[in-house]
């Protein structure tokens, strides 16, 4: 029944609380006992103080004279109902009592002996009589003018009523302590259940989510807006994100499978065509067309595989860069030149005017940066319709900042506002009608991050897209980090 958090609470917190309450109860019982006994002692002391007045002029050495004086005191004693008064002679024997009955000789009068030895001539005794009754006694000795003890007066009070009151109050204190303990245990268990039960439910639901049942998150309920409620909301949001990611991943696998199948089908088809021709001669035009398709689709297939491998390396942190000092404009110019022929074939305009002057060098991996340029320009051409324009430019202002920008703008279909924040996420693809795996932009963004640069996208649906690549310059042999708060 009790395990986990409940068991730890029982062993740790509850044990400390029980110890504290027990100590408080014991202390209170001790205080009550002390106060009642002190009250009885005080009452005896107050009553005994009368003797200093009654026997103040006592000078006789005769025991008979003392007995007569003591008899007058006992007969006139006004508090006989609360306590018993005894007259003790000089030899320690009780010769008279206020009740008229002499005590048994079995009862030792230790307080008389203690009073004789006491400087004040006073002593208390708390104990049991031979009858078993608990009493408290006080004995005060009487001395004559020469300081000789001629006798003593002893007051005795039964402690049975006092002990009954002490027992009653002690029982009440123990009962209150027990009630407090029960209330603490009940409230603690109730509170722990309000924590443990939701956590156990969350554990079951999390296990179901881990097995792929994302609909289990719909069973999550919470009554309070506290940390448990926040945890429930977090797991619910996590399940929704996982469901979205799982769906995106499945779409990605389906999309990549389709993208891989297309070039493989083309390659296989033309290869079978050439094989079936056997020794018969194909006309040169058909042969060249087949080889061109095979080479083109093989390159496309290789590019997709390399893109997937790069993505895998980035995800596992295994991507390494061969950094060196390089001319960023030369690399970008070469990439533009590579894609100009394609733009012409597709009836699109790729415009780029190499800027005048000398641009500072950057520090990076030549091949990886060229991969970024190809991806950005390829996307611009891919989403730009026939007759559209793709413009590329490089920007650097020596007086304003220590960064180099490369900006690529197209007049394509643009990206919807709801898709724009997600286009750099893995597996995400805003436009499903255009070929591509959907991870090229995520790879390009990671490569820019590895170069301490940035990839920023602005777009309007039906207007076009603007991509800005920002690179920190290489200065004094040290790669300068990207300045903060740079406006892209």
Sequential DSSP letters for 190-215? HHHHHHHHHHHHHHHHHHHHHTT-GG
* Alpha carbons 466 and 392: distance in angstroms, whole number: 10
* Token pair of 421 as six digits: 């924040």
Residues 6+ apart with CB under 8 A from 446: 314, 319
* Alpha carbons 309 and 297: distance in angstroms, whole number: 18
Per-residue pLDDT tens over the stretch 401-452: 788 999 999 998 888 888 888 888 766 666 655 555 567 788 888 889 988 9
Q: Are strands 149-158 and 84-89 parallel, antiparallel or unpaired?
A: antiparallel
Dihedral Cα 344, 349, 353, 354, nearest 10 deg: -50
- Report the half-sphere exposure of 117 (CA within 13 A, side-chain side): 5
* Token pair of 102 as six digits: 């002499």
What is the distance between the terminal CA atoms of the chain, rounded to a whole angstrom?
Answer: 62
- Report the half-sphere exposure of 413 (CA within 13 A, side-chain side): 14
Residue 483 has pLDDT above 60, yes or no: no
Residue 302 has pLDDT above 70, yes or no: yes
The separation between CA 284 and the C-alpha centre of its own chain, rounded to angstroms, equals 74
Of 346 and 287, the structure prediction assigns the larger pLDDT to 346
Asked if residues 382 and 434 have their Cβ atoms less than 8 Å apart, the reply is yes
- CA-nearest of 473, 449, 326 to 401 is 473
**Three-point CA angle 224, 226, 230, nearest 5°:** 105
68, containing H or E segment:
helix 63-75
DSSP string, 405-444: EEEEEE-S----TTTGGGTTSTT--S-TTS-S-S-HHHHH
The separation between CA 336 and the C-alpha centre of its own chain, rounded to angstroms, equals 53
- Report the half-sphere exposure of 390 (CA within 13 A, side-chain side): 27
Burial class (CB in 10 A: 0-12, 13-18, 19+), 378: middle
What pLDDT is attached to residue 392?
Answer: 93
Average confidence (pLDDT) over 464-485:
70
Per-residue pLDDT tens over the stretch 357-414: 778 889 999 988 998 998 899 889 988 999 999 999 998 876 667 889 999 999 988 8
* Three-class secondary structure of residue 474 per DSSP: strand
* Token pair of 320 as six digits: 């390494």
**Three-point CA angle 309, 314, 318, nearest 5°:** 90
Tell me the pLDDT band of 484, cut-offs 50, 70 and 90. very low
């Amino acid at each position: 029944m009790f395990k986990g958090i409940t068991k730890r609470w029982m062993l740790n917190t509850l044990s400390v609380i029980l110890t504290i309450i027990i100590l408080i109860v014991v202390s209170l019982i001790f205080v009550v006992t002390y106060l009642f006994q002190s009250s009885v002692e005080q009452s005896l002391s107050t009553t005994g103080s009368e003797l200093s007045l009654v026997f103040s002029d006592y000078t006789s050495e005769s025991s008979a004279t003392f007995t007569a004086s003591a008899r007058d005191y006992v007969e006139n004693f006004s508090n006989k109902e609360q306590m018993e008064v005894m007259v003790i002679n000089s030899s320690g024997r009780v010769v008279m009592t206020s009740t008229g009955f002499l005590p048994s000789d079995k009862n030792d009068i230790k307080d008389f002996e203690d009073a004789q030895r006491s400087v004040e001539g006073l002593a208390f005794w708390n104990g049991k009589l031979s009858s078993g009754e608990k009493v408290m006694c006080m004995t005060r000795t009487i001395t004559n003018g020469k300081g000789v003890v001629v006798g003593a007066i002893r007051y005795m009070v039964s402690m049975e009523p006092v002990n009954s009151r002490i027992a009653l109050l002690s029982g009440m204190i123990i009962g209150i302590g027990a009630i407090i303990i029960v209330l603490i245990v009940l409230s603690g268990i109730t509170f722990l259940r309000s924590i443990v039960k939701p956590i156990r439910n969350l554990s079951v639901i999390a296990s179901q989510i881990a097995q792929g049942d994302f609909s289990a998150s719909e069973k999550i309920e919470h009554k309070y807006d506290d940390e448990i409620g926040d945890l429930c909301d977090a797991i619910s949001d996590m399940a929704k994100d996982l469901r979205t990611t799982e769906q995106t991943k499945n779409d990605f696998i389906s999309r990549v499978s389709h993208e891989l199948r297309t070039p493989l089908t083309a390659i296989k088809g033309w290869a079978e065509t050439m094989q079936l021709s056997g020794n018969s001669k194909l006309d040169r035009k058909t042969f060249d067309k087949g080889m061109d398709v095979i080479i083109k689709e093989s390159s496309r297939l290789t590019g997709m595989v390399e893109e997937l491998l790069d993505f895998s390396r980035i995800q596992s942190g295994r991507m390494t860069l061969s950094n060196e000092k390089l001319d960023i404009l030369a690399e970008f110019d070469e990439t533009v030149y590579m894609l100009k022929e394609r733009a012409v074939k597709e009836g699109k305009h790729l415009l780029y005017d190499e800027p005048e002057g000398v641009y500072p060098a950057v520090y990076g991996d030549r091949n990886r940066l060229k991969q970024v340029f190809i991806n950005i320009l390829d996307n611009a051409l891919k989403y730009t319709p026939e007759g559209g324009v793709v413009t590329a430019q490089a920007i650097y202002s020596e007086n304003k900042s220590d960064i180099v920008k490369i900006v690529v703008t197209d007049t394509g279909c643009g990206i919807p506002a709801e898709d724009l924040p997600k286009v750099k996420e893995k597996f995400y693809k805003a436009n499903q009608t255009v070929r591509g795996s959907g991870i090229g932009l995520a790879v390009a963004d990671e490569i820019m991050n590895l170069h301490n640069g940035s990839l920023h996208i602005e777009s309007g649906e039906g207007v076009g897209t603007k991509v800005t690549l920002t690179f920190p310059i290489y200065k004094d042999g040290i790669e300068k980090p990207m300045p903060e708060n740079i406006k892209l």
